Copies of this chain bind each other. A is one copy, B any other.
Amino acid sequence: MDLILKNSSEHGEKEHENFQVFHLEWERVEIPYAVFSWMLITFFAKLGYNKIPFANKLPESSIMILIGLLLGIFFFLVNMTVITLTPDIFFLFLLPPIIMEAGYFMPNRLFFDQLGTILLMAVIGTIFNMFTIGFSLYGLSSSKLFGEELAKLEYLEVLLFGSLIAAVDPVAVLAVFEEIQVDEVLNIIVFGESLLNDGVAVVLYHMFEAFEEKGEAGINGADIGLGLVSFLVVAGGGTIIGIIWGYVCAWTTRHMKSVQLMEALVTISMAYLSYLTAEIFHMSGILAVTFCGITMKNYVQKNVSDSSNATIKSMMHILANISEMTIFLFLGVITVYNESYYFNFWFIIATVVCCLVWRVIGVLLLAKLTNLIRIKKISGIEQVIMMYGGLRGGVAFALVLSLKSPHKYLFVTTTLAMVYFTVFFQGITIKPLVRLLRVKTRSNTDPSMTERVTNRLMDLAKLGIGDILGEQSEIPLRTRRVYKNFDEHYLQRLLLRDRKPEPKFQETFDTIIQNDYLTKMGKKPSGHH
């Protein structure tokens, strides 16, 4: 009685086989097993990151890449085939939860207040970067800096590469900016850019992909015209799909008192379906799910039960967090696992330098432009953080993996190098930089006297109106109109704000209150000046 351990797919031979007590059937459960195993691996990596004391010094994303590298080496040594990053896994499963969370927790007011600047950076900035990076690399390749072999790079090919490397990556921005906790306005400008540039990046990428397939000769004026129309379709279509799903979800949650249990699942499903619907039509899924979240949020929060609200929030956080970590883990694993590399030192250096230089120039130009009409200007220090926030990550890498260009592996290698540079060099140095430049951070942004007065006034007014209306209604009094008609400078002078010392980095709230007190008492406040 031999207990045979054999794979059930080897059913070929037909002598007398005993009835098999043990079967092994791996293929059938491979996909769900891989998904949930990766989830657990990510979780244990994160647990390890939190338990090991010195690991906290580095950003989580960089540690995840390192763990991914070790895992990749392990899988390579034991000769194990694993399911890892593919463009489809990235765009259909890992990216949507991250953007969904971002859209759902987007501070709507702040976002729409800054929309002008965000769109300028996202549309003009990305196109600017793409063409400048593309043509710089084309010029450098023609001058044979990268050697003879890369001297014959076609300009369409390099522009295609430019289109994918130009866009700032939302996942990397979220991961890095979450740790540095800069001021909300600065945060929303950089993060908003990384979200909204997706429309541009997708269009440019698909446009140059299509152009490259045709070859240079096949392109005519109509194609370029259609390319421009296409931008409106991809960005506008994605946004509209998102808004429609957002309202569908808002409407649905209004009518599901009898099946409250499912509120969370329905909300998350609809947000995800908005992404997938946009993807079917090759429109921007990122824009769709962002605007779906922005649209539905306020309705859903009022419609669903408290427990569903808690479930929605915690599920979105969990899913986004695990997806983010998995992306960085996969970037590490695939570094070992990648089928082929084409390593050209100077091309990598040129790409990194071009990305940095053109980002600096782009931000300088566009900040100058936007400051012409902004009331609250973007300061020099904030511009430095915007330049530094030009991070590249998984989106570019997933796009480059699906490339069909003859120099695919050159671009894959270079993109991976760019991602490593971004995550390790920029990700690790941004925290000290923020401290060095004394950038306003979220926790110690001191409300100006004007803001304090306005806030108190508004709160009291709302309280009074609430009393009159007899319910705890949240009235949107603080609309943009109120802010716009407010003569800030007049009030500042009136309230003698200039006499108050400007609070510096990490000055605690206690000191501010103490200083206020001293000022009132007629004494000179202590502390920094």
Contact = CB atoms under 8 A, between A and B. Distances in A.
Interface in A256-299: 256, 258-259, 261-262, 264-266, 269-270, 272-273, 276-277, 279-282
A51 B255 CA distance: 10
A462 interface: no
A403 interface: no
A57 to B, nearest CB: 16
A476 B319 CA distance: 37
A481 interface: no
Interface stretch (A39-47, A176-184, A351-359, A441-449): A39-47
Contact of A276 (B36, B261, B276, B279): B36
Contacts of A189: none
Contacts of A513: none
A119 interface: no
A226 interface: yes
Contact of A207 (B1, B19, B225): B19
Contacts of A281: 22-24
Interface in A402-448: none
Dominant SS among interface residues on chain A:
helix
A3 B33 CA distance: 43
Contacts of A273: 33, 36-37, 40
A11 to B, nearest CB: 9
A47 B46 CA distance: 39
A328 interface: no
A25 interface: yes
A506 interface: no
Contacts of A264: 314, 318
A491 interface: no
Instruction: Give the top 9 A-B pairs by smallest Cβ distance, nearest first.
Output: A23-B282, A50-B258, A19-B223, A19-B226, A21-B230, A36-B269, A29-B276, A33-B276, A265-B318
A321 interface: yes
A50 B260 CA distance: 11
A24 B265 contact: no
A23 B21 CA distance: 51
A24 B20 CA distance: 47
7 contacts: A1-B229, A19-B223, A21-B230, A23-B281, A33-B273, A264-B318, A265-B318
A46 B37 CA distance: 32
Contacts of A276: 29, 32-33, 36
Contacts of A277: 33
Contact of A1 (B50, B225, B256): B225
A28 interface: yes
Contacts of A255: 47
B21 A266 contact: no
A94 to B, nearest CB: 12
A16 interface: yes
Contacts of A174: none
A265 to B, nearest CB: 5
A164 B168 CA distance: 56
Interface in A192-251: 206-207, 210-211, 214, 218, 222-223, 225-227, 229-230, 233
In the complex, which of the residues A1, A21, A23 has the most CB atoms of chain B within 10 Å of its own CB atom?
A: A21
A460 interface: no
Contacts of A222: 1, 18-19
Nearest to A21: B230
B92 A223 contact: no
A18 to B, nearest CB: 6
B311 A24 contact: no
Given A40-B270, A46-B259, A47-B256, 7 more contacts: A19-B222, A33-B277, A36-B269, A39-B269, A43-B259, A51-B258, A311-B311
A113 interface: no
B25 A259 contact: no
Contacts of A37: 273
A226 B47 contact: no
Contacts of A488: none
Nearest to A321: B261
Contacts of A23: 206, 281-282
A28 B279 contact: yes
Nearest to A272: B36
A15 to B, nearest CB: 10
A272 B318 CA distance: 17
A230 to B, nearest CB: 5
A262 B321 contact: yes
A40 B226 contact: no
Contacts of A270: 40
A46 B262 contact: yes
